[in-house]
Structure 1
Amino acid sequence: MNPTGWVYEICRRPAWGNSCPAHAAVAEYGGVRLALQKGDTLKIKLVNQLPQLDPAKVNHNTDPGQANLFRNPTNLHTHGLIVEPRAPTLNDPTFGDYVFVQIFNSANGMPVPQTTHQHGSNKMDSAEFRINIPRNHPSGQFWFHPHIHGISLNQVSQGLAGIISVGEVSDYAHGDARDTPFPDASVRHLILKDLQVAPGGPVQFDSGPVDVQPGEVINQQDPGFCAQFPADSSEVREGSCPGVDASADGGTNFSGGKWYFTVNGRTFPKIKVTDADGEVWRLTNASGSLSYNLQLTDDDTQKPMIMQLISVDGVSVNLPQDTTMDTMVHLGGARFRVVQCPPLPTSRFHSKPVCVTQMVMMPSSRTEVFVTYRDPNTGAIASPGRVASATFKMAGLTMGSGDQWPAVDLAKVHFHQHGARNHIAYAMDIRGDALATMQPSGILDAKVPYASAAPLRNGCRPLPPGHRRRIFFGLADLHDDGTFGLGYEEVDQNGNPVPGTQLPVSQFDPSQNIVCLPLAGGQRPVHETWELVQLSTENHNFHIHQTRFRTINSKAGENTPLAVSFNKTIGGGMLQDNVPLGVATPNVPEVMDAQNGVCTIEQWRSGQCTSKPVVVDIPFSQVGEFVYHCHILEHEDGGMMAKIKVVPSPNNGSPWEAMNQMPW
């Protein structure tokens, strides 16, 4: 079949030029890790050598402003880094983490000027990026990938993704038996990528059926490529599932093709755990649209094994000792199946340990877990017998009325842990950045060092006290299931929409900032409350650049991480940069019969559709333009994205002085 993936070829740039020294480049389909430390400056020259695409295989090539997509422009987004989204200036031509640029390969022809919906400035062949990692940045796992609106799915699904680490796990993970940092040698970085390889013949694209070559990668991924579950026990799915014929239902005949699910670029690798104290797994979902439902199943008992959750989306957790399991579930956005930890002396731990047996990782999610062999009856840490193994697997997952993702075994895990444990007796002791980032010196509370006072422009103002923003996830055209979009309104302290702020569900318009807000007085981060309203009967995945957020609940106690009013002494509990949204429940038949399973805003208001908003507290600490969107890239490319702009406060003094100058 010989599929061709796209990779980042990476080398250290010598001081005397821009070319990679001979034999110095690394190009791995599984992904390269950029290992950074706090205070580092990441300098990248991104060179586009991607091939031209067949316009008939580019779903959004005929969208407004997108006529150049088949020329395969690219750019770079350092996903999860809390860094400046900086545009070039005359004095500094480099980009920060700025996604409004398109880098074209001149071998694919010059881009044609676009009169509407131009998605950023055009650069030919290469562009320079300079990204400063703040010294108060959290330690954790992040990643990098292209962010070209319209073909993000194509490029990520073809393989363009790598991981970034900042600091070390030992910065926040210590032993409970001995107060020593967890050894970095026992940290495993696992990047999950999937690749659909066609058998050849006609494949359904938006433009209609188009012939593909045997072994060609389907980068506009089809969730119906293979059956969700094996036909019977004879079908063994170790790292892949076989293509099926869906032509009878108007789909594609993928019989003879394969859908590969790789771990670090390998199909069904064997993982050998040898450290008696276990390992930390840093997991990244680098898929374009696929969501993973992950568990580690004991091969003897066929029961899911307990793992300790230590970090979510690159920020280590921090939970008070009285945190309930229900609170843990809500803090994690229902991404984890939280279970009771084996008995342990809570006085030993800075943060209450969180035990999980299942993790739903939607596209872009990162999760860090402590993995070790455990007694199959009690779940307590134990020494394995002569033979102990488990299967790291993806259980089948259905996204409401939408996509169905298949069940596949991802890796075999062998536990060869013998000898005395030196660090861990009951659980890992976490000193979480979910608390540290929100302290006076933390990145989500400290003064923004590069921000200086500037007058506010029209349309850019802080939310009045008690107000919040409401974002709707739906379709711009209910009769076209590809017109993914976002709606917006401001809500007052009584829960009523503020007149003049309401925008209908619309597809992404790069010329319009939907949200504009200033920092708090003294150039400190400002907190806002956002309501995320799901209008669809299939799941979406909210993601915002340049920051983190915590889920909140108006019924939560004041001294819990879920409290609406933020308490610095408690911290954020679990901080995320993406969160799954549930599904809307229609109460009238026309939603499913005539509206592609998507409600209108009016139907939601009137109760014809039931959908409980996900409410989040977002601290904004970076100045510039960036985006929020659904990180299912099929949905993002289809228009479910919007621009936001954060500007300096008009006052460098106290927050109270600044508030007195604001036009409420």
Structure 2
Amino acid sequence: MPKALSQVSKGTILRRRLTFAATAACLGLPSSGAAVEQFADNPPTATVERPGSAAGPMAMSPEAPLVPSAGGEAFWAATIDYVDAKIFNPRTGMEDKVRLRAYQGPGVDPDYPFVAPTISLFPGETFRITLDNRLSADDSSCGEGHNKSNEPHCFNSTNLHAHGLWVSPSGNSDNVLLRINPGVKFQYEYNIPADHPAGTYWYHPHLHGSTALQVSSGMAGALIIRGTRLPSVGQTGDVDTLLRHEDGTAFHERVVLLQQIPYACYDASGRIKTDPPVDDAGAWVCDQGETGTIERYGAPVGSDGQPIGPDQFGNGIWKASGRYTTINGRTIPTFAGATAGRIERWRLIHAGVRDSISLGFQKTRPAEIASAVSAAYTASTPEERAAFVDQVCDGTNIAQHALAEDGHTRDRLVEQTKSTLHPGYREDVLVVFPTPGIYCIVDGDLPATGTASQQVKSRQLLGFIEVGQGPGTGGLSAAAYLKQELISAAARFMPPDIGQTVIADIDQGLLLSAFQSHRAIEPQEVTGKQTLAFRIDTSVSPPNFQIGSLDEKDAGVDLRPYDPARVDRVLRLGGVEEWRMKSLFAGHPFHIHVNPFQIVEILEGTKDVSGFEPDNKSPYARLKGVWKDTLFISGSNRTFVLRTRYQRYIGDFVLHCHILDHEDQGMMQNVRIALPDGHGGVAPSHH
């Protein structure tokens, strides 16, 4: 066992706050001299008011025993304002000062005020969230000359999107067509249906023109629907009721909010400061005493009409910046409190705008590490970051088991060695660390075709996990150990009329049929068809970001940028449709609001690569039948076939690319679900 763990008790590990220097010591690395707290914990928990509840205000702990919700109302209020904070920069071993737009309300951590707190809700509740926009009305991006809808603008105006929630898109519900200007206070009301799937969702701003800038500023938080419904014969339940220890408490939970915050400092000409200076490819730097900000799209223009220096958004910018993906506001943090053999539920949320992430867990190498590695720890280039991973981490990802995609419980646990996340994705995975020690959290290699940035991505470190002594797995594989523990939980907690079925499913292949969020859509249910195509027209400057449809030969038709006054698709309430979609240029995470979709097939030519074949190496393997709300549409040789139901809600909402600067520049469509007219069409709208 590593020295750092042998000298401290589990309780001490849980209490202490690790520093950069302490982490280096754990790994046998020389200290850089920095002493910056980077102890990882879950994001702060929003203190949600529930009037009339015996519990009063609730800062809900995921380890609390399951308590069924009786419905009722829940309230949270947040101001939107600038916060002054610090983000640790491993490249310098120092903290960079930043000034960012953020949500502020009960539960926010003052040490990381740009990280929005986690909101936990129950099915059947009415959640009222009040936003008070206190940003300055003096917003130069919102004045004369900034009235083009697909030109990023109005950075101090905002609204709110509950990403993935199955709620109404109209009125003061999940209405992203609203605009909350500075000085305006507004209360949203989300009526969470009693049959809403339990799972991992998130919330963030969604005003067209300012979405990317505000989400990049850190305006994002986890939104978790806590499940308390036991399954029964003929009725599925929430997998939360199964994932419990002997005493009834939930498996230990890690909420992992992954953010990519492109803060920058500027010289007198407005150019982003870089190292080396005046080098567009140089890593971004802030001199001592300076404060990094996110205040613009585009670079300033010189007298010759050409940009001065790099842009703050756009393709390739995040990689070139040298900035680091943060976890719950921390850079390369250390998680404590894990023990060998204890199953953990990791709720992974990609709340970034640009860079794709391939997250895995590796044991650190036990051998002494050369003193030169400390320089690699502060690396900024992709090559240096990869070298550090190779020297510190053993290169073998331990098994993790995918439990849910975008909040929707799978029909089975799926063993994998990494979780690939594109902007907007969420994935719940079960992880059991087999032995004590220090583990790396590694963001692994991805080919250019597998990333939202369309750039080759080399491995880099995201953080560490301290794993203390525990019961271990008894030499069992992760799959066998999970099967053993889940069968025990099913025997203990499942109702008698369904218990044996749950046990048999787990025993036969870690199946979760009693906990599936949705009933599969059969071909005979389909009542209509839709097609969709993404394209970036690079023949014009700036590029034209478009969505359209496909003809019978899969060529793009009606490709055009967003028009806020145009309804692009009118869908019939109660309809069930099959969508065929492609990307004609680059890759784009497709996201649609309100109703999730089921993946039917993902074709490379004529071959379906979404299946469960043991030798399937496709990045889309083992997604067949899975329900999602965001899917990376990539590769001109791929065709994606999805099915969805238009249930319960009517109104106007959007679909778009979740590379949010693409969305702000026009890669979005308005969608309307309308009442049927009784004759196979839709009733006329008052709009």
Give the alignment's TM-score, normalised by structure 1.
Answer: 0.63
| Aligned twin of 1:159 | 218
Question: For 2:349, which of 284, 290, 315 is the aligned residue?
Answer: 284
| Aligned twin of 1:620 | 646
Q: State the Cα deviation string for residues 325-349 of structure 1 (Å, max 9, x = none).
A: xxxxxxxxxxxxxxxxxxxxxxxxx
1:80–1:545 contact (8 Å) kept in structure 2:
yes
> Partner amino acid for 1:269?
P
Are 1:38 and 2:123 matched, yes or no?
yes
Q: State the Cα deviation string for residues 619-644 of structure 1 (Å, max 9, x = none).
A: 22132111111001011111100011
Are 1:270 and 2:334 matched, yes or no?
yes
> Partner amino acid for 1:268?
I
Are 1:530 and 2:588 matched, yes or no?
no
2:48–2:119 contact (8 Å) kept in structure 1:
no
> Partner amino acid for 1:196?
P
Seen in structure 2, the aligned counterparts of structure 1 residues 204 and 638 have a Cα distance that, compared at 3 Å, is: farther
Structure 2 residue matching 1:302: 3-state secondary structure: strand
Seen in structure 2, the aligned counterparts of structure 1 residues 254 and 267 have a Cα distance that, compared at 3 Å, is: closer
> Partner amino acid for 2:429?
V
Seen in structure 2, the aligned counterparts of structure 1 residues 432 and 292 have a Cα distance that, compared at 3 Å, is: farther
1:475–1:481 contact (8 Å) kept in structure 2:
no
| Aligned twin of 2:206 | 147
The more displaced of 640-649 and 475-484 is 475-484
Once residues 133 and 360 of structure 1 are traced to their aligned partners in structure 2, the CA distance between those partners, rounded to angstroms, is: 29
Shift of 1:182: 7.8
Where do residues 342-421 of structure 1 align in structure 2 (5 Å cutoff)? 351=412, 353-374=413-434, 384=435, 387-397=436-446, 399-400=448-449, 402-403=454-455, 407-419=459-471
Question: For 2:519, which of 414, 438, 455 is the aligned residue?
Answer: 438
Where do residues 32-181 of structure 1 align in structure 2 (5 Å cutoff)? 32-51=117-136, 55=140, 62=146, 64-65=148-149, 69-70=153-154, 72-87=156-171, 95-106=172-183, 125-168=184-227, 171-172=238-239
Q: State the Cα deviation string for residues 44-90 of structure 1 (Å, max 9, x = none).
A: 1111122468747x999735247893451000000000111122xxx
Instruction: Report the identity percentage.
Output: 22
Seen in structure 2, the aligned counterparts of structure 1 residues 8 and 661 have a Cα distance that, compared at 3 Å, is: closer
Once residues 669 and 635 of structure 2 are traced to their aligned partners in structure 1, the CA distance between those partners, rounded to angstroms, is: 21
Are 1:216 and 2:270 matched, yes or no?
no
Aligned residues: CA RMSD: 4.8
Seen in structure 2, the aligned counterparts of structure 1 residues 436 and 54 have a Cα distance that, compared at 3 Å, is: closer
User: Aligned residue pairs: how many?
Assistant: 486
2:599–2:625 contact (8 Å) kept in structure 1:
no
Once residues 262 and 651 of structure 2 are traced to their aligned partners in structure 1, the CA distance between those partners, rounded to angstroms, is: 37
Where do residues 181-196 of structure 1 align in structure 2 (5 Å cutoff)? 183-184=249-250, 186-196=252-262
Shift of 1:253: 11
Question: For 1:548, which of 596, 602, 613 is the aligned residue?
Answer: 596
Structure 1 residue matching 2:563: 3-state secondary structure: coil
The more displaced of 306-315 and 463-472 is 463-472
Seen in structure 2, the aligned counterparts of structure 1 residues 309 and 197 have a Cα distance that, compared at 3 Å, is: same
Q: Which has the higher helix share?
A: 2
Where do residues 482-561 of structure 1 align in structure 2 (5 Å cutoff)? 482-488=543-549, 495=552, 504-520=558-574, 526-536=575-585, 538-553=586-601
Shift of 1:259: 1.4
Unaligned runs of 5+ in 1: 88-94, 107-124, 224-244, 319-350, 375-383, 446-462, 521-525, 563-570, 585-610, 652-657
| Aligned twin of 2:362 | 297
> Partner amino acid for 2:600?
I
> Partner amino acid for 1:539?
G
Question: For 2:114, which of 29, 39, 44 is the aligned residue?
Answer: 29
1:83–1:131 contact (8 Å) kept in structure 2:
yes
Structure 2 residue matching 1:505: 3-state secondary structure: strand
Shift of 1:278: 1.8
Once residues 105 and 215 of structure 2 are traced to their aligned partners in structure 1, the CA distance between those partners, rounded to angstroms, is: 26
Shift of 1:612: 2.8
Shift of 1:254: 11
1:143–1:164 contact (8 Å) kept in structure 2:
yes
Unaligned runs of 5+ in 2: 1-35, 37-42, 53-74, 80-103, 231-237, 273-279, 300-308, 366-393, 475-480, 487-505, 614-622
Seen in structure 2, the aligned counterparts of structure 1 residues 298 and 222 have a Cα distance that, compared at 3 Å, is: farther
Shift of 1:146: 0.2
Give the alignment's TM-score, normalised by structure 2.
Answer: 0.61
Question: For 2:629, which of 571, 574, 577 is the aligned residue?
Answer: 577
Shift of 1:216: 1.7
Once residues 18 and 550 of structure 1 are traced to their aligned partners in structure 2, the CA distance between those partners, rounded to angstroms, is: 32
Once residues 44 and 143 of structure 2 are traced to their aligned partners in structure 1, the CA distance between those partners, rounded to angstroms, is: 24
The more displaced of 12-21 and 163-172 is 12-21
Shift of 1:414: 2.1
Shift of 1:133: 0.7
Structure 2 residue matching 1:26: 3-state secondary structure: coil
Once residues 54 and 103 of structure 1 are traced to their aligned partners in structure 2, the CA distance between those partners, rounded to angstroms, is: 14
Where do residues 452-463 of structure 1 align in structure 2 (5 Å cutoff)? none
Once residues 52 and 399 of structure 1 are traced to their aligned partners in structure 2, the CA distance between those partners, rounded to angstroms, is: 41
Seen in structure 2, the aligned counterparts of structure 1 residues 180 and 617 have a Cα distance that, compared at 3 Å, is: farther
Once residues 395 and 221 of structure 1 are traced to their aligned partners in structure 2, the CA distance between those partners, rounded to angstroms, is: 29
Once residues 248 and 577 of structure 2 are traced to their aligned partners in structure 1, the CA distance between those partners, rounded to angstroms, is: 36
Once residues 143 and 485 of structure 2 are traced to their aligned partners in structure 1, the CA distance between those partners, rounded to angstroms, is: 48
Seen in structure 2, the aligned counterparts of structure 1 residues 311 and 53 have a Cα distance that, compared at 3 Å, is: farther
Are 1:473 and 2:542 matched, yes or no?
no
2:46–2:76 contact (8 Å) kept in structure 1:
no
Shift of 1:100: 0.4
Once residues 194 and 583 of structure 1 are traced to their aligned partners in structure 2, the CA distance between those partners, rounded to angstroms, is: 24
2:158–2:181 contact (8 Å) kept in structure 1:
yes
Once residues 575 and 79 of structure 1 are traced to their aligned partners in structure 2, the CA distance between those partners, rounded to angstroms, is: 15
> Partner amino acid for 1:43?
R
Once residues 313 and 253 of structure 1 are traced to their aligned partners in structure 2, the CA distance between those partners, rounded to angstroms, is: 27
